[in-house]
Amino acid sequence: MTIRPKYACRRCAGGVTQAPAPAHLIEGGLPTEGALAHVLVSKYADHLPLYRQSQILARAGIELHRSTLADWVGTAAFHLGPVVDRLSEHLKRSDKLFMDETTAPVLDPGRGRTKTGYLWALARDDRSWGGADPPGVVFTYAPDRAGENAERILQGFDGILQLDGYPGYNRLTRPSRTGGVPITVAHCWAQPPLPPARESALCRSTRKFRQVYN
């Protein structure tokens, strides 16, 4: 609720004066930034689809169609775009980053079912070894798992990249890499790229690491 007081002076000729409405992301709209943040967090962090949020609000006596909520999400995403770009630029100035990709079901209009897309996570978290930089992560959507996506996302980054053994990242280590010099790869200890003949050695090494770090 927004309270806009009205004032009038008996001795003035200006009539009634009302405080202006506060500025919102949605021009002329009712939702505050807090309401928009609640919808976004519920959808993307708590995995509540917009139709379920609409039903939850309806039980509380608030009638908001999911199409209205979708418009809110679109407007918020537009205004948050520069923030995400700035965070990505900030992360890529780091000396070491982590990257991984995971599947995400995506609506595919006309087919009557979903298709598989990918969310590429670019993250920094140096807290485990007392690093001074704050943690951060940026998710970038791509329709497939092609290595070109990683190359595009990492343009401008020339540090150490920790990742699993997915071959799609190999293009980042080559002299032909676009967007920067060949990067240095630090493979995850849980998924080192070893041939099948060395699996037994891998198991022994993994057990030793667990004894040391557990």
Tell which of 38, 72, 88 closes a domain: 88
Same domain, 101 and 167: yes
Return the closest-CA partner of residue 135 out of 82, 98, 83, 183.
98
- Phi first, then psi, for residue 73 (nearest 5°) are -60, -45
Is there a single domain that holds both residue 132 and residue 206? yes
Number of domains in the chain: 2
At 186, which amino acid appears?
A
Q: CB neighbours of 36 closer than 8 A, spacing ≥ 6?
A: 25, 26, 72, 75, 76
> Scanning the structure block, which residue is given the tokens 């775009």?
81
Q: How far apart are CA 185 and CA 87, in angstroms?
A: 22
Whether 4 maps to a domain, the answer reads no
Judgement on whether residues 203 and 99 belong to the same structural domain of the protein: yes
Q: Is residue 7 part of a domain?
A: no
Q: Is residue 145 part of a domain?
A: yes
Kindly state whether residues 143 and 57 are assigned to the same domain.
no
20: in domain: no
Which residues constitute the domain of residue 80? 26-88
Q: Which residue has the tokens 């609640």?
A: 38
Radius of gyration of the chain from Cα atoms? 25
Do residues 196 and 120 share a domain? yes
Are both 132 and 186 inside the same structural domain?
yes
Residues 137, 77, single domain; the answer is no
Determine the distance from the C-alpha atom of residue 78 to the mean position of all C-alpha atoms in its chain, rounded to a whole number.
Answer: 14
Task: Tell me the C-alpha distance between 29 and 49, whole Å.
Answer: 22
Closest CA to 156 of 78, 97, 82: 97
pLDDT of residue 40: 97
The domain that holds 190 is classified in CATH as 3.30.420
Nearest CA to 69 among 37, 109, 110?
A: 37
Task: Return all residues near 120 (Cβ < 8 A) that are at least 6 apart.
Answer: 99, 100, 101, 139, 140, 141, 142, 149, 150, 153
Q: What is the pLDDT of residue 142?
A: 96
Residues 191 and 111 in one domain: yes
Q: How many angstroms separate the CA atoms of 122 and 135, rounded?
A: 11
Residue 20: per-residue pLDDT: 82
- 16 located within any domain: no
Q: What is the pLDDT of residue 214?
A: 62
**Statement to judge: residues 47 and 98 lie in one domain:** no
**Strands (DSSP E) along the chain, which ranges?**
6-8, 16-18, 96-108, 113-124, 136-142, 160-163, 184-187
Q: Is the residue at 21 inside a domain?
A: no
161, 168 in Cβ contact below 8 A?
A: no
Q: Are residue 112 and residue 205 in the same domain, yes or no? A: yes
Residue-by-residue pLDDT tens, the chain, 214 positions: 678 888 888 888 778 888 887 788 888 788 889 999 999 999 999 999 999 999 999 999 999 999 999 999 999 999 999 999 999 999 999 999 999 999 999 988 888 889 999 999 999 998 887 888 899 999 999 999 999 999 999 999 999 999 988 899 999 999 999 888 999 999 876 655 555 555 566 677 777 767 776 6
